[in-house]
Amino acid sequence: MKKRHFVITLVLGISLFWSGSAFANETLPSNIQWLSNDDAPLIGSPDAKKGGTYRSYLTAFPLTVRTVGPDANAGVRDAILANRLSLTTIHKNTEEIIPELATHWAYGEDKKTMYFKLDKRAMWSDGEKVTAEDYQFTLDFMRSKNIIDPWYNNYYTEEIDKVIIYDDYTIAVVSKKALPELHLRVTISPTPRHFYKGSVPKDFVKKHNWKVVPNTGPYQISNIKKGKSITFSRNKDWWAKDLKRYTGRYNVDKVIYSIIREETAAFEYFKKNRLDAFSLALPSFWHEKAKNMEVYTKGYVKKLWFYNDTPRVSFGFYLNQDLELFKDRNVRYAFAHSIHMKKLLKDVLRGDYTRLEQSTIGYGKYTNPDVKARTYDIEKVKQLLTESGWKRGPDGIWQKGGMRFSVKVVYGYKDYAKWLVVLKEEAKKAGLELNLQLLDGSAFLKMVSEKKHEAALIGLSASLRPSYWQVYHSDNAHKPQTNNLSNTDDPEMDKLIDQYRITTEEDLRVELAHKIQVRSHEIGGFVPTFVRDYFRIVYWRWWQFPKVPATKLSSGAFSAFGTGIFWLDPEIRKETLAAMKNGETFEPELIIDKTFKIK
Amino acid sequence: MLISIFAELLINNRALVVYDGEKVYFPTYGEMIPGRQFGLDYDYETNYRELQLAYQKSDGPEFVILPPVPYDAYEIDLKDGRFPPYPPSFADRHYLGTDVIGRDIIARLVYGFRICMAFSLLLLVMNFTIGITLGCIMGYFGGKFDLLFQRIIEIWSAVPFLYIIMIISSVIIPNLLMLVLISVLFGWMGLTWYVRTTTYKERAREYVLAAKTLGASNSRIIFHHILPNSISLIITFVPFSVAGGISALTALDYLGFGLPAPTPSWGDLLQQGTSNLQAIWIISSIVASLVVVMVSITFIGEAIREGFDPKMHSTFE
């Protein structure tokens, strides 16, 4: 009866008041085995000093500080979400499960349910206690039509089944499907029920554009200057500040994001000491603009080159196999052999990037190291195409019947043109004509997701574990709005993927993943390009780091709300500023960290 | 202008003449000749610069005559251990250096100029055809037709041309003809307006009345009396229209909404130049070329204006 009641409330979008005790009649299974993990290695340094302000920038002022609903998917959303703790999280170096808002957890026998004991010390930034109800409210909130966010509506209905409340500090979160590594799916974060007074208002989207929601993390938005800056300040009585796992973390008092609309302008701001760090990912910055800048040669700023080890974006050419031309496997192979990545990497990208060997890179043991990308080879192209009955035409391009080996490559970023023209010239030598088409970002995405492209140069973002169904399964081929951009439709592949999806045993999953990668290479619908396995930045010398300045999964060193392990040394700052005034210099310093570099 | 039409003979990576000991080849125009033909070990287009070096070493009767600038506008010339843009160098025969990808700047300038001129001349012809025809009809016949088209022109002129063209070219991939058509779509109004006014004025003059009383047909009056008298106005617009066409295409390419990469274009060079000020040879060549072309067009315009000065050449037939 209670459950019925619950469903009806949902449908009407009206939340009636009921307390957590309404579910008190649910009882915990008796054979539960509680787990915890308080001994994970610390990532922060015990020497870290608290205090100071970190100054960063955004290229556009966010349209809202909501994290759901229209226009929310940009701006400072990541910063806001990083300050909302979840039940558990994973360790950024070891990838083991560690506590956040729950102290203990346990897996149910059905592989769908995970039980959590909540941390009784946990408090919202407005001083209220975090209780079981707040987790139930996350579901109510995310399922509400009033947030106008179909993706979240769907995710919290189709993926998360329900939250069961046993008492104020014990809950279970149930997934719709049995899953391996269940914790990656069900560790939801709470939503402050008291703040929303138990329901999501009809005009939520409008009313909450600039409302700061109580959170559970170390920082909270303290100042919004519309069009100019957003400031995060430390939560004064953050409930977890003395916990061992947060030793030496979240050291600065304030983080200011100013709006600077141009990268090059931001770089000038950095050099004038109005920003604390600047990313030098682009070769043009690292090799030219920042190479011999005065603040570096005089030693006022330091450079850091850090190799990380995270799942890599599968950036490359997705060949549409619905196209007559690409139905022949030899032609797909020939395309891959006509792409001269080596030249591009060496002569244009200055060796800053490495070849992406296949689509599953950076997934640890899930990656099959034996799968290697096809390399530029004119002879192989000749052999493959002659085998399929092609001949070189008078203009040097391969021909067969009425077909020419000419492919339209669509891409969505102007910067890619610089790389593509090099590949185009080299491909011509192999007898492949590439026609380049730059499309406006949204027009590009539309074309690709409707599978109207011939070949698309695009990077598909990576999740923590490889997910093959969306990219290679025939369920997603030949129809719009799916990620199977190569229209791969292969019965053997389907079989492997189906198995991979239902297997919960890790060793078997790894083995299947390896097989899928081999099969995907055999199909050849994806031509991988390159990958960057590091980040590099320049920062003022008063910023200090632990011995290892970032984590395995880090994409930057100044992650104020994620790892937050950097700190400001006021003595060095004073010394440096004085030196700059008096014209004294320091030894320039370039730190290269290879702790997580894959050999 | 003339030079750019035969640019293939001056600036090209294909040789002008090749003699391989048996036969003389003229590779400039025509199909590509694979390297194997000259005893090289590849099937793609012969690299004539390498062939020349090889022939020079071999002491035989073979020879290769290359154009003065032996590079194509699309060809990427990368040097070992150095990264483009390369500064001007006589040894490499990149007399104005290369752009950020390693393509010869002279080649891109000249071929870009040719495309630019083709664009603006096509644009000119179409705009003038539409402008003169509609303007004459509106001015000569007047009445409801005139009234209707006046309003249409007023409304149509209010459409922001550059934005429209950006939106359109982000959806479809424009080729040269497409781009001309889009520009004509939003560019025909200017001249129409002027031609209408002069026709209107001329129609009321005595010589037209005289022709009418003598029984001349409408077409005779328009073509033999009114048009010759308004020609000075039309002609003076030509150079400025060309200049306008060049700057429009350059602006579009600069913003990345013009012709697709890697078409040689001035806008693209300008964009590269402004974002790579340390490579001063890019920005200086393109700015100098723009200034020279624009100034000479203006001078030509001045000369034409003087040549057609109505005070000196009034034709009252």
3-state secondary structure A529-567: CEECCEEEEEEECCEECCCCCCCCCCCCCCCCCCCCCCE
Q: Which two tokens stand for residue A519?
A: 């099969």
pLDDT in tens, B28-40: 887 778 877 887 7
CA distance B229 to A203: 68
What is the pLDDT at residue A12? Answer: 34
Nearest CA in chain B to A283: B83
What is the pLDDT at residue B315? Answer: 56
Q: Which two tokens stand for residue A234?
A: 């430390």
When CB atoms are compared, the residue of A350, A422, A440 closest to B83 is: A350
What is the pLDDT at residue A19? Answer: 38
What is the pLDDT at residue B310? Answer: 62
What is the pLDDT at residue B122? Answer: 93
CA distance A279 to A537: 4
- Interface touch B260/A347, C-beta < 8 Å: no
Mutate to test the interface with A, among B47, B72, B83 (most CBs of A within 10 A): B83
Q: Is A420 on the interface with B (CB under 8 A)?
A: yes
Q: H/E element holding A568?
A: strand A567-568
Q: What is the CA radius of gyration of chain B?
A: 26
What is the pLDDT at residue B80? Answer: 73
CB within 8 A of A494, min separation 6: which ones? A473, A474, A475
Handedness of CA A203, A209, A212, A218 (dihedral sign): positive
Nearest to A87 by CA among A142, A21, A37: A37
**Is the separation of the CB atoms in A354 and A307 below 8 Å?**
no
Q: Which residues pair with A105 in a beta bridge?
A: A35, A116
State ipTM. Answer: 0.70
- State how far the alpha carbon of B64 is from the alpha carbons of A221, A430, B44, B47, B75, in Å: 71, 25, 18, 11, 19
Strand pairing report for A406-411 and A433-438: parallel
Amino acid, single-letter form, for residue A30: S
Q: Is A418 on the interface with B (CB under 8 A)?
A: yes
CATH of A2-45+62-216, picked from 3.30.70.100, 3.90.76.10, 3.40.50.720, 3.40.50.2300, is 3.90.76.10
Task: Determine the distance from the C-alpha atom of residue A468 to the mean position of all C-alpha atoms in its chain, rounded to a whole number.
Answer: 17
What is the pLDDT at residue A414? Answer: 77
Nearest CA in chain A to B254: A414
CB within 8 A of B35, min separation 6: which ones? B41, B42, B43, B44, B45, B46, B47
- State how far the alpha carbon of A422 is from the alpha carbons of A358, A409, A425, B101, B261, in Å: 21, 13, 5, 8, 11
- Interface touch B101/A414, C-beta < 8 Å: no
- Interface touch B170/A443, C-beta < 8 Å: yes
Kindly report the CATH class assigned to A314-531. Answer: alpha beta
Answer yes or no: is pLDDT of A294 > 50: yes
Nearest to A285 by CA among B287, B54, B276, B261: B276
Mutate to test the interface with A, among B13, B14, B43 (most CBs of A within 10 A): B43
CATH 3.10.105.10 range(s) for chain A read 314-531
Q: Which of A143-147, B124-128, B231-235 comes out lowest in average pLDDT?
A: B231-235
Strand pairing report for A589-593 and A113-118: unpaired
When CB atoms are compared, the residue of A394, A396, A421 closest to B76 is: A421
Task: Determine the distance from the C-alpha atom of residue B33 to the mean position of all C-alpha atoms in its chain, rounded to a whole number.
Answer: 30
**Mean pLDDT across the stretch B219-244?**
86
pLDDT interval class at A336 (50, 70, 90)? very high
Of chain A, the percentage scoring pLDDT greater than 90 comes to 66
What is the pLDDT at residue A284? Answer: 80
Which stretches of chain B are DSSP H helices? 2-5, 7-10, 48-58, 105-141, 143-157, 161-171, 176-187, 189-203, 206-213, 218-220, 227-255, 266-275, 280-307
- Interface touch B170/A439, C-beta < 8 Å: yes
What domains does chain B contain, in order, with CATH numbers? 1-74 (no CATH), 106-307 (1.10.3720.10)
Which stretches of A272-309 are DSSP H helices? 283-284, 294-297
pLDDT interval class at A197 (50, 70, 90)? very high
Using left for φ > 0, alpha for ψ between -120 and 50, and beta otherwise, residue A492 falls in alpha
**Mean pLDDT across the stretch B85-113?**
87
Compute the nearest-CA separation of A436 from chain B (Å).
Answer: 7
CA distance B249 to B20: 43
CB contacts < 8 A (A, B)? 66
**Is the separation of the CB atoms in B153 and B238 below 8 Å?**
no
Residues of B in contact with A378 (CB under 8 A): 42-44
List b or e across B237-247, with b for residues whose CB sees 16 or more CB atoms inside 10 angstroms.
bbbebbbbbbb
Handedness of CA A489, A493, A495, A499 (dihedral sign): negative
Q: Is A431 on the interface with B (CB under 8 A)?
A: yes
Amino acid, single-letter form, for residue B14: R
Q: In what order do the strands lie in the sheet with A170-175?
A: A102-107, A113-118, A170-175, A160-167
- Interface touch B31/A395, C-beta < 8 Å: yes
pLDDT interval class at B179 (50, 70, 90)? confident
CA distance A51 to B57: 71
Question: Chain A 181-220, CB below 8 Å of chain B: which residues?
Answer: none
Residues of A in contact with B31 (CB under 8 A): 394-395
pLDDT in tens, A70-92: 888 777 888 999 999 999 999 99
How high does pLDDT run on average in chain A?
A: 89
Decide which of B233 and A162 is more confident.
Answer: A162
Mutate to test the interface with B, among A347, A376, A411, A424 (most CBs of B within 10 A): A347
- Interface touch A378/B278, C-beta < 8 Å: no
Compute the nearest-CA separation of B229 from chain A (Å).
Answer: 48
- Interface touch B100/A418, C-beta < 8 Å: yes
- Interface touch A395/B171, C-beta < 8 Å: no
The 10 Å Cβ neighbour count of residue A288 is 14
- Interface touch A440/B171, C-beta < 8 Å: yes
Q: DSSP 3-state assignment of A359?
A: coil
Nearest to A113 by CA among A49, A170, A43: A170
Mutate to test the interface with B, among A385, A391, A425, A444 (most CBs of B within 10 A): A425
Compute the nearest-CA separation of A244 from chain B (Å).
Answer: 49
pLDDT in tens, A361-401: 888 889 999 999 999 999 999 999 999 999 988 888 999 98
Answer yes or no: is pLDDT of A8 > 80: no
CATH 3.90.76.10 range(s) for chain A read 2-45+62-216
Mutate to test the interface with A, among B74, B101, B253 (most CBs of A within 10 A): B101
CA distance B177 to A305: 49
- State how far the alpha carbon of A359 is from the alpha carbons of A320, A410, A526, A530, in Å: 16, 19, 8, 10
**Is the separation of the CB atoms in A89 and A100 below 8 Å?**
yes
**Mean pLDDT across the stretch A559-583?**
94
Q: H/E element holding A590?
A: strand A589-593
- Interface touch B34/A418, C-beta < 8 Å: no
Compute the nearest-CA separation of B279 from chain A (Å).
Answer: 11
